[in-house]
Amino acid sequence: MQPRTSSRTVTRKPRDLRPRGVPEFAFTEADVRQVSSALSEPDWLLERRLAAWAQYQATPMPTLKDEAWRRTDLSGFPADGAARRPAEDLPIDRELLQPLTGKPGSALMVLRPGFAAQREGAADQGVLLLDWATAVHDHEDWLREHLGTIVPDGEGKFASLAAALAEDAVVVYVPPGVEASQPLHSILWAPARTGLHLSRVLVILGRGSSLTYVHEAASPTEAAGQAIHAGIVELKLDEGARLTFVELQSWGEHVWNITHERARLGRDSALDWIFGAVGSHLTKNFTEIDLAGQGAEGRMSGFYFADGDQHLDHDTQQNHLAPNGTSDLLFKGALLDRSRSVWQGMIYVAPGAQKTDGYQANRNLVLSPHARADSIPGLEILADDVRCTHGATVGQLEAEPVFYLMSRGLPRREAERLVVDGFFAPVLERVPFEGVRERFARMIDMKMSRGQ
């Protein structure tokens, strides 16, 4: 008998890594002039905007070939046709107005693109919480001295765009020696089905001062919408200053959100930076801490929870530029459905930054077989007397603790939710405010109930 032979043709489709064209925005230099003119800005600020616009034009749109964007694909980015337009006149989500730091009556600012900033409550003596227009008109010299010193206008394509066209900003200043007992709270509320919103946050703490500041960015989800937010966050702590900065992001799930954020820490200063991210269709967040002064301490705690087809990409950098600095990063995230997270972290220790103590960890809980978490820690050490450690894990929900809780009468849904709560507990314990912890817990509940 003849052996049977079979021929089979296997066709392999090569993975297409060619950069797909990401459309450019259709703005022109005239738009930049119009923004500056509408805000009655001084000449130097117009010049800065124009310079940023030139940098924007000179920088190509990022593609998968760019190292920082290798895992975040901007194809489908709705830049063409995106216009700057006022936010829709929807009332702000009342939950956002709840005091998160347990101190009612503290200063609150609500920014709504296209509308005048709303201000409630009072800040401590000497502490400034300003919207853009007030900062430009009442504190022009101060603004000129500090704006763009932490995140240069040419930091990236979207930083240049925000520097050229942003109309909404929160500016905070704490004078030297002032320890603000009242926390500050600002909200960027930008409901919009389509369009582009650009924002800036600038926080300067004088020598020996201290502050707690909560900044939130939010909008409702518009099912058929495609909107964009690009932003810059700059934090500067002078010698001995202490800042607790809580940053919450709950953009609607139609929003493409790209931000460039950096803190510069002076000698013996301390920053406790807390992130919470549950919103947006796609987030690309560049976050850096520069420990520029001897003995500076930077702590970053991140919480993210994605579902649906959300894509959350956090790119963190801890730059030890002076001796005796301490940095401690913990990012924890959970993923449902077809969502994806990317965390790429780097600890850089400059030559001479001896006695550095750097730590970074990223833990991911993948709750769906279709979700994916990429975790890429990195160290670059150019000093010889340092301690740097890092760790990254991607895991699934453990069956054993779920079974244990179910054996005590809890339904599977609640048991799983409790285990997820427990997963986030180490990062929630780093949050010093009950209101923020409760907000995070509600975010977890909301995501878990949608996923079941």
Decide: is 268 part of the binding site for other proteins (CB under 8 A): no
Residue 391 vs 411, nearer CB to other proteins:
411
Q: Considering the complex, what minimum distance in angstroms separates the CB of residue 110 from other proteins?
A: 24
d(CA 152, CA 438): 35
Please, which residue, 309 or 429, has the CB nearer to other proteins?
429
CB nearer to other proteins: pick between 208 and 451: 451
Smallest separation, CB 183 to other proteins (Å): 21
Assess 413 for contact with other proteins (CB under 8 A).
yes
CB of 436 to other proteins, least distance (A): 15
Torsion over CA of 380, 383, 385 and 386, rounded to 10 degrees? -30
Q: How far is the CB of 259 from other proteins (least distance, A)?
A: 30
Question: What count of residues does the chain have?
Answer: 452
Q: Is 431 in the site for other proteins (CB under 8 A)?
A: no
Percent of the chain as helix, strand, coil, to the nearest 5: 20, 35, 40
Q: Is 450 in the site for other proteins (CB under 8 A)?
A: no
- Shortest distance, CB of residue 372 to other proteins, whole angstroms? 30
3-state secondary structure 95-152: HHHCCCCCCCCECEEEECCCCCCEEECECCCCCEEEEHHHHHHHCHHHHHHHCCCCCC
Number of chain residues interacting with other proteins (CB under 8 A): 14
Answer for which of 421, 430, 432, 446 binds other proteins (CB under 8 A) is: 421
Select 61 or 406, whichever has its Cβ closest to other proteins. 406
x/- mask, other proteins, residues 144-163, rule CB under 8 A, reads --------------------
C-alpha distance from residue 124 to each of 101, 175, 247, 341, 432 (Å): 15, 11, 21, 39, 20
- Pairwise CA distance, residues 199 & 118, whole Å: 16
Between 135 and 428, name the residue whose CB sits nearer to other proteins.
428
Residues 352-411 that bind other proteins (CB under 8 A): 405-411
**SS3 state at 437:** helix
C-alpha span between 150 and 256 (Å, rounded): 24
User: Cα–Cα–Cα angle for 287, 292, 294, nearest 5°?
Assistant: 135
List the x/- string, 198-237, binding to other proteins by CB under 8 A: ----------------------------------------
445 makes contact with other proteins (CB under 8 A) = yes
- Measured from the CB atom, the residue of 151 and 443 that comes closer to other proteins is 443
Dihedral of the CA atoms 406, 411, 417, 423 (nearest 10)?
A: 0
260: nearest Cα among 26, 68, 47:
68
CB of 411 to other proteins, least distance (A): 6
Task: Give Rg (Cα) of the chain.
Answer: 23
Cβ proximity to other proteins: between 140 and 421 the closer is 421
Distances (CA, A) of 417 to 115, 444, 449: 40, 8, 9
Binding mask 293-332 for other proteins (x = CB under 8 A): ----------------------------------------
Is 438 a residue that touches other proteins (CB under 8 A)? Answer: yes
94 binds other proteins (CB under 8 A): no
Candidates 69-77, 208-216, 314-322, 413-421 — which segment interacts with other proteins by CB under 8 A? Answer: 413-421
Contact status, residue 169 vs residue 204, Cβ threshold 8 Å: no
Whole-number Å distance between alpha carbons of 286 and 362: 16
Q: How far is the CB of 250 from other proteins (least distance, A)?
A: 17
Q: Give the shortest CB-323-to-other proteins separation in angstroms.
A: 41
Shortest separation between residue 305's beta carbon and other proteins, angstroms: 17
Q: Identify the H or E element spanning 277.
A: strand 270-277
SS3 419: helix
Residue among 198, 188, 203 at smallest CA distance from 108? 188
Kindly list the residues in this chain that would bind other proteins in the complex (CB under 8 A): 405-411, 413-414, 418, 421, 438, 442, 445
